Chains A and B, each alone.
Chain A
């Protein structure tokens, strides 16, 4: 088995996970990517989605993240998420709250003349809507 690497998932309020991991899958801005040890240094922004981690000890864990970055460096992988919650704690209410925030963002950008901003907010909300059935099977 390949060597592990240091993985950390932090949100502004707390450090959610820190430890040795074998494989991390992150929803990068331009597509999901699996990261193993000795990955080339890379910095990517994140789409809203699931991050899953194969820990060296403790098996697989997944988290819902919204907004933020993954910093992949020789020292390890750090995910700075604006909002992160482990899959087990992700309830319908939490998700609805996220959708509401995204909707607010869309509304707020509606009367701005920054097209990029509008498109970003829109796609953000679309992604959340797209994720809903997989994350929260009715």
Chain B
């Protein structure tokens, strides 16, 4: 049985840990608020973008010579998986659930005889995937220095992806990230970004498509719009991820704080019981001594 001193030390160390997890939870809560408002501010743009995409895609989509970025390369042999995770851990299942989804998808594709390439954004996902897919991983996109993800970050990633696409290094790109639902629920999501899946925008698309004038012309606008759409999708994913990461960390740290609290209660109880036992033993000794006289 541990001595009283040992118990006292353990209680102190658990208390210190609890202070840290509590602080991390509060920091995550503050960051979450910021990340959430950034995600909300970005929403109008991507919504409008979806509408515009749907409009143009219906106008141009069926014609010959539609750009490859819209129609695809015509094959689906090589897949690029863009896996966006966090740069830091201690956020519950956040990183591993995204990585697991990507892992599953990669295995499926490989089993189907496709070639897979993986581009990791953020270190934590890469750490998980490296053990299995080291040979097909590309250099990690490092966002550790970035405090608040901006459109510029997404733009850079998009540029890298598009350059690869131009060189015909892959046919289909899928983006993995975690969609923010609430503090306790983040849903790992896979979204195909090249060729894009055009969302049905409440029938708005077909009424408008026939009437539109384009300046310069559809194809030129489309050529400009498609790469931008990739960047916007990535940006959205990064923002969702940022919010999800903080949400996940907040609930993970909340749990940790609670567990530490329980632990302290238990240890304190053991400590008290043992102290009483010791006192009782001492008393017995004294009384026994007095009786012997």
Measured CB to CB, the residues of A under 8 A from B are 8, 10-15, 28-30, 40-45, 67-69, 71, 73, 78, 80, 82-83
Contact = CB atoms under 8 A, between A and B. Distances in A.
Contacts of A42: 212-215
Contact of A43 (B49, B52, B232): B52
Contacts of B56: 43
A69 B221 contact: yes
A29 B215 contact: yes
Contacts of B151: 11-13, 82-83
Interface in B187-232: 208, 211-216, 220-221, 224-225, 228, 231-232
Contacts of B46: 12
B215 A30 contact: yes
Given A12-B232, A69-B52, A43 B213 contact: yes
Contacts of B211: 40-41
Given A13-B150, A43-B52, A45-B216, A73 B228 contact: no
Interface of B: 38, 41-42, 44-46, 48-49, 51-52, 55-56, 150-151, 154, 208, 211-216, 220-221, 224-225, 228, 231-232, 235
Which 10 A-B pairs have CB atoms at the shortest separation, nearest pair first? A44-B215, A12-B151, A14-B41, A42-B213, A10-B45, A41-B211, A15-B44, A41-B212, A10-B44, A12-B45
A57 to B, nearest CB: 21
Contacts of A13: 38, 41-42, 45, 150-151
B224 A45 contact: yes
16 contacts: A12-B45, A13-B41, A13-B45, A13-B150, A13-B151, A28-B215, A30-B216, A43-B55, A43-B215, A45-B221, A45-B224, A68-B228, A69-B221, A69-B225, A71-B55, A78-B48
A45 B214 CA distance: 9
A14 B208 contact: no
Given A28-B215, A40-B211, 17 more contacts: A8-B48, A10-B48, A11-B151, A12-B154, A12-B232, A13-B42, A15-B44, A30-B216, A40-B213, A42-B214, A42-B215, A44-B216, A45-B221, A68-B228, A71-B48, A71-B52, A83-B151
A67 B152 CA distance: 13
Contacts of B208: 41, 73
A12 B224 contact: no
Nearest to A15: B44
Nearest to B221: A45
A106 to B, nearest CB: 15
Contacts of A12: 42, 45-46, 151, 154, 231-232, 235
Contacts of B45: 10-13, 15, 80
A17 to B, nearest CB: 11
